[in-house]
Amino acid sequence: MRLIAVATIALSALLGGPAWAAESISKYEVRRAPAARVEREVLGQLADIIKPSGPEVRPLTDEKPVMPLTDMWFETEPRNTEAPGLCRFDVLVMEFEPTGEPGTGADTRVHASGFTASSQYAVIAPPQGVFDDVVYGEKPPPRGPSCKRIPKQVFFSAPDMETAFNGVYRLNQVFAGAASGSPAFALECVHEDAADKCRKRIVDLNALKPEDWGMVGGIERCDPPPGVYGECLEASLDSTSVRMLIVEGRLKTVTVNQMLILSHARRD
């Protein structure tokens, strides 16, 4: 796919509609139809499902911009996935660079030079097991609630569906274990010496109900300790990091750490 075609789609979406009517297509057509037709139909579908977002569309301030255009964001609408209760939307970020001599002002002429893509997730129904067991088990997974009306503020970052789903499943185990007073896993807090205070911190985090998952910034994979064969997942909840070590399918160790979050305004 030519980048210039993607740029055409992005500008078309920004102006209020696709450059051409999107049509359905089959694998047979993709492999046998003329390349120009395939490109037109597939990129037409892309134009139909992405919408511009971010500060270039909704500026954070009324002040006039002073810097050249460097990127534009586009998003799909939230949709259901094969895992019940797991919602997803995708983000495409187009990158721009000056067309001629590098400029310094907002009137600098630019052209598309690349793009990145990622996904955001939300879990709106408690997972009833790990991803593989639920999605690929003997019984077909039940249909989850619709994701269409889920606000994007409650979505979080994760590298893939499995990590997002399993991360929330394990977080729920952490919350339940801490609330019980006698968790079946080892609980460690980096900045708390007393076990009771550490457990209370987890219990306080349990106040995050499904509708408050916007407090979850992201769930990532991490490396298990040296010599330990298992799975490691790390979730960021507001200013707290929860690292979960899973060995032989069971939650073994949970390490809680306070994070120092620094941010600065991006010059516009």
CATH of domain 157-258: 3.10.450
Distance CA 58, CA 179 (A): 42
What confidence score (pLDDT) does residue 60 get? 60
**Which tens digits make up the pLDDT trace of 129-139?**
999 999 998 88
Which among 160, 166, 177, 156 has a CA at the least distance from the CA of 230? Answer: 166
Q: What percent of the chain has a predicted confidence (pLDDT) above 70?
A: 75
Distance CA 255, CA 189 (A): 6
Residue 188: φ, ψ to 5°? -125, 135
**Which tens digits make up the pLDDT trace of 182-225?**
788 888 887 665 556 666 666 666 655 544 555 678 999 999 98
What confidence score (pLDDT) does residue 177 get? 84
CA–CA–CA angle 165, 170, 176 (5° rounding): 130
What is each CA distance from 37 to 29, 126, 232, in whole angstroms? 9, 43, 45
What confidence score (pLDDT) does residue 22 get? 65
Confidence of residue 256 (pLDDT cuts 50, 70, 90): confident
Residue 91 has pLDDT above 90, yes or no: yes
The model's pTM is 0.81
For 11-36, letters b (16+ CB in 10 Å) and e give ebbeeeebebebeeeeeeeeeeeeee
Span 91-114, average pLDDT: 87
Distance CA 218, CA 159 (A): 9
Which among 200, 78, 90, 256 has a CA at the least distance from the CA of 151? Answer: 78
Q: Return the HEC string of 231-250.
A: EEEEEEECCEEEEEEEECCE
Give the start-to-end residue ranges of the domains of the chain. Answer: 1-49, 157-258
